[in-house]
């Protein structure tokens, strides 16, 4: 449900961003660099106004003249006004450096986003092209281009931009890969947002800051390379640039050494300021990110026991159920060429208006089964057999190795929704709660923002948030874990899904809040008539909220059926052990005699 996420889920990006500005403001060197750069840019824009002479007009009466009232910085070897040329040269030099940076960003960033997010053949091909570009000697390429196309600074910088693209590509790809499997990205997918939207809003926000830093550095390098080429006499003498001026001044260094100072100062000040600014930005960001990133938990591998498929009794009636999982098998290829089977022949179903509990000890395959239904399995996972049907959509057909992302994407939001285990990691720290609630509703239900906003506020009331407007306007770090879980529940039910999957929805919460959240879930499920799956290791939760339960052990179903029956007369030793350990000697029947379950 989250509509964008940045950096560390525990370090809200907005805070980090405002912190960056504050830290930058406290760095006098960064401020000075910023002011000097801003001054140079403004002067270059105002060149036509500020210049006292035509930059290419040569006064042969005043060749190599020193500073005077008419020529503030003197004249060059053709009697042209140095001050005016310097201003116009700033325009060309800065614009050409910007061209190189823009080309590098335009190629490198989208390619890095795609390669990092999707991987696959594009990643492989892009890496190959990147390696090839990086192995080219840049200066030789630029000299060859100059020889082939003439002394145009624009063409040189365009080609230089292409040569610089790999640095942006690698930066973006690495950053995207590091957040690709974050929970909030999964949550955004499950809420029905498209890959393009997730990449542009959630993933791009992670690489924004490094790209800004890299741009500052790349622009400095572009100015240095551009000036270096022109200093060697490869620039267009008719176009004033700092490098061309430097080259002209160097030829007359014994006659008027002062001429060398102005373009050299302009180049030095601009490149140094860009480097200082880039470093200051990096330092500010690093200072603001000292809390380590919370990674998506991955359990230790354990060898699955031999398959002991016990199917949930009513599974064969495929057609009328809201969800049917039929003989599902999931595996992970191992280094030695073997396959680790983590879900082995699981069959279950869920009907409208009923709650199914999937219970089992840690590592028994509950989450893998739920992730397969949600289409959230990692890319490394393989469907080894079986099928999944949600409503009338087969998201896993017999024989397919992966969940069909196209089909599951069409179901997300309205057909199926998800309440995750860790509320905080599933909210994007860069956006307000309200924004994160409104966006999926606008996208999935096609309603206006105003209508979605009204519904979001109502939903916040429904899930028991006392001050909905304040929570709506708050960022995730400004609310508690219990409130965050309520917000996620509000988000999950906002599009009134047919099927809701809650993966250990109370595990991360304080015990006092757990019961309230379970009550809320049960209430919403009844009110909306949703089918619901609760993944849990806790039989207490099962007895409290579920109609039916399936017990998982080592990737297989140990047994399944009506909750009362299973609690009263568990058939399987493993179920008995699990019951004994969960209920710690308390009598489950006492809970059930007054229960309301059918």
Ligand X SMILES: Nc1ncnc2c1ncn2[C@@H]1O[C@H](COP(=O)(O)OP(=O)(O)OP(=O)(O)O)[C@@H](O)[C@H]1O
Q: Rule CB under 6 A: choose which of 74, 363, 440, 491 binds ligand X.
A: 363
Residue 333 touches ligand X, criterion: CB under 6 A: no
Q: Closest CB to ligand X among 349 and 553?
A: 553
Binding mask 208-227 for ligand X (x = CB under 6 A): --------------------
* β-bridge pairing 355-360 and 548-553: parallel
The SS3 call for residue 505 is coil
Residue 364 touches ligand X, criterion: CB under 6 A: yes
Residue 306 touches ligand X, criterion: CB under 6 A: no
Residues 6+ apart with CB under 8 A from 496: 414, 528, 530
Q: Which two tokens stand for residue 134?
A: 């990086």
Residue 300 touches ligand X, criterion: CB under 6 A: yes
The SS3 call for residue 464 is coil
Q: How far is Cα 543 from Cα 548, in angstroms, rounded to an integer? A: 9
Q: In the beta sheet, which residues pair with residue 348?
A: 325
Q: Which two tokens stand for residue 531?
A: 């089918």
What are the Cα distances from residue 443, in Å, to 188, 206, 274, 528?
A: 12, 23, 41, 21
CB atoms within 10 A of CB 382: 17
Residue 581 touches ligand X, criterion: CB under 6 A: no
Q: How far is Cα 135 from Cα 372, in angstroms, rounded to an integer? A: 42
Residue 357 touches ligand X, criterion: CB under 6 A: no
The SS3 call for residue 389 is strand
Residue 367 touches ligand X, criterion: CB under 6 A: yes
Q: How far is Cα 540 from Cα 531, in angstroms, rounded to an integer? A: 20
Q: How far is Cα 76 from Cα 66, in angstroms, rounded to an integer? A: 9
Q: Closest CB to ligand X among 116 and 243?
A: 116
Q: How far is Cα 332 from Cα 342, in angstroms, rounded to an integer? A: 8
Using the contact rule CB under 6 A, the part of the chain among 73-81, 116-124, 272-280, 364-372 near ligand X is 364-372
Nearest residue to 184 (alpha-carbon basis) of 416, 391, 392, 428? 428
Q: Rule CB under 6 A: choose which of 232, 301, 305, 339 binds ligand X.
A: 301
Q: How far is Cα 473 from Cα 424, in angstroms, rounded to an integer? A: 16
Using the contact rule CB under 6 A, the part of the chain among 22-30, 58-66, 358-366, 440-448 near ligand X is 358-366
Q: How far is Cα 167 from Cα 394, in angstroms, rounded to an integer? A: 42
* Burial group, residue 228, by CB count within 10 angstroms (0-12, 13-18, 19+): middle
Nearest residue to 222 (alpha-carbon basis) of 93, 317, 109, 129? 93
Using the contact rule CB under 6 A, the part of the chain among 135-143, 146-154, 299-307, 313-321 near ligand X is 299-307
Binding mask 378-407 for ligand X (x = CB under 6 A): x-x---------------------------
Q: What is the nearest approach in angstroms of ligand X to the Cβ of residue 181?
A: 9
Q: Which two tokens stand for residue 207?
A: 């690489």
Q: Rule CB under 6 A: choose which of 52, 174, 194, 302 binds ligand X.
A: 302
Q: Closest CB to ligand X among 84 and 538?
A: 538
Nearest residue to 503 (alpha-carbon basis) of 199, 203, 297? 297
Residue 307 touches ligand X, criterion: CB under 6 A: no
Nearest residue to 247 (alpha-carbon basis) of 259, 141, 55? 259
Q: Closest CB to ligand X among 88 and 574?
A: 574
Residues 6+ apart with CB under 8 A from 215: 101, 105
* β-bridge pairing 548-553 and 416-419: unpaired
Q: Closest CB to ligand X among 380 and 512?
A: 380
Q: Closest CB to ligand X among 68 and 334?
A: 334
Q: Closest CB to ligand X among 69 and 511?
A: 511
Residue 298 touches ligand X, criterion: CB under 6 A: yes
Q: Rule CB under 6 A: choose which of 332, 382, 561, 572 binds ligand X.
A: 332
Q: Closest CB to ligand X among 90 and 364?
A: 364
Using the contact rule CB under 6 A, the part of the chain among 31-39, 41-49, 308-316, 366-374 near ligand X is 366-374
Binding mask 38-67 for ligand X (x = CB under 6 A): ------------------------------
Q: Closest CB to ligand X among 328 and 499?
A: 328
Using the contact rule CB under 6 A, the part of the chain among 23-31, 362-370, 443-451, 522-530 near ligand X is 362-370
H or E element that contains 292: none
- Angle between helix axes 481-493 and 433-445 (nearest 10 degrees) is 10
Using the contact rule CB under 6 A, the part of the chain among 89-97, 214-222, 293-301, 486-494 near ligand X is 293-301
Binding mask 510-549 for ligand X (x = CB under 6 A): ---------------------------x------------
Of all residues in this chain, which one has the CB nearest to ligand X in the complex?
367
Residue 575 touches ligand X, criterion: CB under 6 A: no
C-alpha 35 chain-centroid distance: 32
Q: How far is Cα 5 from Cα 3, in angstroms, rounded to an integer? A: 7
Using the contact rule CB under 6 A, the part of the chain among 20-28, 202-210, 292-300, 321-329 near ligand X is 292-300
Q: Rule CB under 6 A: choose which of 9, 360, 429, 434 binds ligand X.
A: 360
Residue 329 touches ligand X, criterion: CB under 6 A: no
Q: Rule CB under 6 A: choose which of 365, 420, 429, 531 binds ligand X.
A: 365
Q: What is the nearest approach in angstroms of ligand X to the Cβ of residue 348?
A: 14
Residue 368 touches ligand X, criterion: CB under 6 A: yes
Residues 427-446 close enough to bind ligand X by CB under 6 A: none
What are the Cα distances from residue 63, in Å, to 79, 81, 111?
A: 4, 10, 51
Q: Closest CB to ligand X among 243 and 363?
A: 363
- Asked whether 226 and 241 are in contact (CB, 8 A), the reply is yes
Q: Rule CB under 6 A: choose which of 38, 144, 253, 299 binds ligand X.
A: 299
Q: How many residues bind ligand X (CB under 6 A)?
A: 18
Q: In the beta sheet, which residues pair with residue 356?
A: 533, 548
Q: What is the nearest approach in angstroms of ligand X to the Cβ of residue 287?
A: 34
DSSP 427: S
Binding site for ligand X (CB under 6 A): 298-302, 332, 342, 360, 362-368, 378, 380, 537
């Amino acid at each position: 449900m989250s509509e964008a996420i940045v950096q560390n889920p525990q370090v809200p990006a907005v805070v980090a961003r405002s912190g960056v500005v504050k830290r930058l403001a406290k760095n006098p060197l960064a401020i000075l660099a910023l002011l000097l750069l801003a001054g140079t840019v403004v002067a270059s824009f105002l060149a036509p106004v500020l210049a006292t002479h035509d930059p290419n007009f040569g006064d042969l009466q005043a060749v190599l003249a020193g500073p005077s009232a008419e020529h503030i910085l003197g004249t060059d070897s053709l009697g042209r006004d140095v001050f005016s040329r310097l201003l116009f040269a700033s325009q060309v030099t800065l614009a050409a450096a910007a061209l190189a940076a823009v080309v590098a960003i335009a190629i490198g960033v989208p390619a890095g986003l795609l390669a990092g997010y999707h991987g696959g053949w594009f990643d492989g091909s892009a890496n190959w092209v990147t390696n090839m570009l990086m192995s080219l000697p840049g200066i030789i390429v630029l000299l060859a281009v100059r020889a082939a196309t003439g002394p145009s600074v624009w063409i040189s910088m365009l080609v230089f931009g292409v040569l610089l693209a790999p640095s942006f590509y690698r930066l973006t790809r690495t950053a995207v890969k590091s957040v690709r499997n974050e929970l909030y990205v999964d949550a955004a997918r499950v809420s029905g947002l498209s890959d393009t939207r997730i990449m542009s809003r959630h993933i791009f926000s992670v690489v924004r800051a490094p790209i800004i830093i890299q741009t500052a550095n790349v622009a400095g390098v572009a100015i240095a390379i551009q000036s270096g080429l022109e200093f060697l006499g490869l620039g267009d003498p008719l176009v004033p640039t700092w490098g061309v001026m430097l080259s002209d001044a160097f030829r007359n260094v014994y006659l008027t050494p002062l001429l060398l100072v102005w373009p050299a100062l302009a180049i030095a000040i601009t490149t140094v300021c860009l480097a200082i600014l880039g470093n200051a930005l990096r330092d500010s960001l690093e200072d603001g990110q000292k809390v380590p990133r919370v990674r998506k938990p991955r359990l230790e591998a354990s060898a699955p026991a031999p398959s002991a498929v016990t199917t949930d009794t009513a599974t064969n009636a495929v057609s009328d159920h809201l969800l049917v999982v039929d003989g599902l098998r999931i595996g992970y290829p191992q280094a030695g060429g073997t396959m680790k089977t983590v879900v082995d022949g699981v069959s279950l179903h869920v009907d409208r208006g009923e709650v199914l509990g999937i219970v089992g000890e840690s590592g028994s395959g509950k989450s893998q089964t739920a992730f397969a239904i949600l289409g959230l399995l990692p890319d490394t996972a393989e469907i080894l057999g079986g099928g999944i049907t949600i409503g009338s959509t087969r998201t896993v057909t017999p024989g397919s190795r992966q969940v069909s992302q196209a089909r599951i994407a069409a179901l997300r939001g309205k057909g199926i929704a998800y309440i995750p285990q860790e509320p905080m990691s599933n909210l994007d720290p860069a956006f307000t709660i309200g924004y994160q609630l409104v966006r999926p509703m606008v996208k999935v239900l096609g309603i206006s923002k105003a209508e979605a906003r009204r519904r979001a506020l109502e939903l916040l009331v429904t899930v028991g948030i006392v001050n909905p407007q304040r929570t709506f306007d708050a960022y995730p770090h400004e609310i508690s874990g219990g409130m965050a879980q309520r917000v996620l529940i509000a988000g999950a039910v906002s599009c009134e899904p047919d099927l809701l999957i809650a993966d250990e929805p109370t595990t991360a919460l304080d015990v006092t809040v757990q019961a309230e959240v379970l009550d809320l879930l049960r209430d919403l499920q009844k009110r909306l008539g949703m089918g619901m799956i609760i993944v849990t290791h806790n039989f207490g939760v099962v007895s409290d909220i579920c109609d039916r339960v399936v017990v998982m052990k080592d990737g297989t179903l140990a047994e399944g059926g009506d909750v009362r029956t299973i609690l009263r007369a568990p058939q399987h030793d493993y179920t008995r052990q699990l019951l004994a350990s969960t209920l710690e000697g308390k009598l489950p029947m006492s809970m059930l005699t007054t229960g309301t379950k059918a």
